[in-house]
Structure 1
Amino acid sequence: MIDNLYTNPIVSFSRAGKTIVLGRTPSDDVVHLYGSTGLGLPPVQLAFSDRIGGDGSVFRGQRYGNREVFIPLAVWKKTKAEVTEFRRRLYHELAPHKGMVNIRIVDPGTGTSRFIEGYLKEGLEGDFGEDFRGNYQSFGLTFECPDPWWQGDLKEITLRLNPGVKPFISNTVPFFPVVLGRSAAQGTFNIEVAGDDAVYPVWEFVGEGSDPTIKAGSNQFVINTTLKAGQKIVMDMGTGMMTPDQWQNVPLTSQPFRLEPGRTTLTATMVNATVDSMIRGTYRERFLEGI
């Protein structure tokens, strides 16, 4: 039924600020066709060793390999020239030498929006056969994705050290505000990490204040330094990159840590925090499937 088309996923490609959105109805001139693949579990690689002196084998481990995502689409235009122009747009905006393409799938039925990044592998070789009819042409685009996990929208955790003032709450970005005292600023709060894999937030420590610290369970990361008003340090827990580099002020007991899916209790502290001091973390949840 035509009504069901409106509940189909919305597929789009984007890179460098340019986006191509595939339609879902017969009235659209560019349409996502049935037949997409690579939207569920990524390829599984299992390792076994033969059991010496016995039957069978010993399981050594598993990992997810590169994922291929296949997206079929069709274009209808009024003229052959318009089809040619659209095909040239695909060439330029999806060419692999320009980097990875963001493939996003929005599911109206569940409200999820997830994306994966990959290099175009095949589908735009310029072969004109049965799939080409002058003002009509269909394509089957295959992308190779080095990271097989789908990612969600950017999430933000904001701890604003603002004594005696109601914290600002954004209407567009979800976060967890906490009001702390001025001299010994400390707050404990719970967050829920969705998805199927751990996340590594990028933490931003903004002064004024000393010895900014973030804790989760037995994990702790502290920088023994003093930040001036407006001064900040950015720490990527995934890569270990710190800007500016303050690793000389990080004690050996501090290590970058991740947040597991589910509920996590965080404790953040900053000595002598002022009204403008804050600790903020951003991350993207990771999912096994796109839809």
Structure 2
Amino acid sequence: MYIPLRMEAETTAELSLLRRRLARLITPVSGDPAASLVDVTIRDPATGVERMVRGIYKDGLDGDFGTGYHGYWQKLGITFECPDPWWLGPERTRTMQIYRGSKAFLSRGATERVNLAANPSFASLTGAFGAGTIVEASGASVALSSDWSSAGDTSVKITPGSNVLAAAWLSPYSAALIRGGDLAGKTITVALDMYLPEAQSGASGAFARSLGIGVMQADGSVGIAADAWSEPAPNEAGVHRLVKVYEVPEGARGIYLSARNGSTSGPVFVDALTVEEGLTGGSYFDGDSEGASWTGTPHESTSYIVTPGSGTPFFPIVLAPSSIVGEYDVPIQGDGEVWPAWEIQGPGRDLTIQRGDDRIFIAGEFPAGSVTRIQTRPRRITPDRWDDVSLGSKLFPLRPGPNRIRITMVDAVPDTPDSPGTLVRLVWQERYLEGI
């Protein structure tokens, strides 16, 4: 980029001083291209429009005063090399927040899956449903083990005795129905990982290496029906996912689970428990999984996966009659795509920013008062939240013309007289092929 420049001062000395100041301002920093960038802004005197381009000085100040020198004034030609040749318009912002008339506590949105097991990765020997403890039965020796795990750091090791019925009750008979609702009369899918270090060679009983679903009936009796056991894990070394779909009887007062070793030789390990309402594939997830959250203390509470984009929608600060709840148009002028920045102020969690099929989804908490900045170019999230970004996310640009944007966030709150609420600010500069 070439810029013709006329410099003028009251005296020759002042002109020389002005040249030195210009040189200090635009001379590149050795070995640091980013620090060498100079913002060159021009203004159209007729319209007042300003546009800016960033460049690195190349030449125009070197040598003698040149033929353009006239004592008190001088003509120069300054050349810059521009890594990005686009001219940028003024910085624009759009701020979105929850309408003050909304509830202070908002729903978490639609859930794709809910894991009702409150100790799914067996971080302790607390019962899987948050009540009682894991117990030994029929000669089994049960212990928390770090020898192997498929979720978290530990699993439950079931070492048999001389009884082929050796089992571990994952919740005692007295456990109430799984927290999260009454499952009586409903279909559930229960699954866990069972690991065999090696094939078992001793005597085996019925339902060896299986997962059973027990029921406390309305009259207080308990038991596991023959059709409430899963298919057995193969008698071969490795990890096997056991899945059982079961219809809980009407009037049931509670359910419990049993993982059975079923052999007199060799231990088995169980881990990665899921208990879900309805028919699911039984694959494992907990609150630490991508796109998932705990309902309470991690590894001591149930967990869920929110359907991206189904959380509470944001409202613009000013609601026009044509506004669509949670969706609004951001008009982009200029000649090229815009790479914006998004600033998120908590509280809230599980943020989704979406335009059509392009989506940014960041799972987890945004603490009250915290500010997270997402820069789409360069790709940067401050503070670092890349571990919380879903694999399907894309830091997308905004296109010239209208951009229909939807922003949702779980547990977002409006402003109150005592504290600021959740806020999302969009910052961008439009790009042009010409300066003026």
TM bucket (normalised to shorter chain) is 0.5 to 0.7
Q: Paired residue for 2:394?
A: 255
Mapped to 2, the partners of 1:220 and 1:192 lie a distance apart of 18
Amino acid at match of 2:338: V
- List alignment gaps of at least 5 residues for structure 1: 1-68, 166-175, 181-185
Matches for 1:219-258 after TM superposition, within 5 Å: 219-258=358-397
Matches for 1:134-283 after TM superposition, within 5 Å: 134-164=71-101, 177-178=316-317, 187-275=326-414, 276-283=421-428
Deviations 1:52-105 (A, max 9, x none): xxxxxxxxxxxxxxxxx2222223333221221112122211212261221111
TM-score (norm 2): 0.45
Amino acid at match of 1:202: A
Amino acid at match of 1:80: T
Amino acid at match of 2:363: N
**Structure 1 residue 179: deviation in Å?**
6.9
Amino acid at match of 1:236: Q
Amino acid at match of 1:75: M
Task: Indicate the SS of the match to 1:203.
Answer: strand
Task: Indicate the SS of the match to 2:337.
Answer: coil
**Structure 1 residue 111: deviation in Å?**
3.5
Runs (4+) of structure 1 exceeding 4 A deviation are: none
Mapped to 1, the partners of 2:36 and 2:331 lie a distance apart of 33
Contact 1:201 1:283 in 2 (8 A): yes
Q: Paired residue for 1:105?
A: 42
The answer to whether structure 1 residue 122 and structure 2 residue 59 are counterparts is: yes
Change beyond 3 A, Cα 1:79–1:252:
closer
Task: Indicate the SS of the match to 2:40.
Answer: strand
Q: Paired residue for 1:285?
A: 430
Give the share of equivalent positions with the same residue, in percent. Answer: 40
Task: Indicate the SS of the match to 1:85.
Answer: helix
CA RMSD of aligned residues (A): 2.0
Contact 2:98 2:316 in 1 (8 A): no
Task: Indicate the SS of the match to 2:326.
Answer: strand
Mapped to 1, the partners of 2:386 and 2:413 lie a distance apart of 24
**Structure 1 residue 253: deviation in Å?**
2.1
Flag the structure with larger Rg. Answer: 2
**Structure 1 residue 284: deviation in Å?**
0.9
Mapped to 2, the partners of 1:243 and 1:108 lie a distance apart of 38
Task: Indicate the SS of the match to 1:96.
Answer: coil
TM-score (norm 1): 0.66
Change beyond 3 A, Cα 1:252–1:79:
closer
Task: Indicate the SS of the match to 2:335.
Answer: coil
Deviations 1:216-262 (A, max 9, x none): 11111111112221123221122321122222222222221111110
**Structure 1 residue 128: deviation in Å?**
2.8
- List alignment gaps of at least 5 residues for structure 2: 30-34, 103-314, 320-324, 415-420
Change beyond 3 A, Cα 1:266–1:147:
same
The answer to whether structure 1 residue 73 and structure 2 residue 73 are counterparts is: no
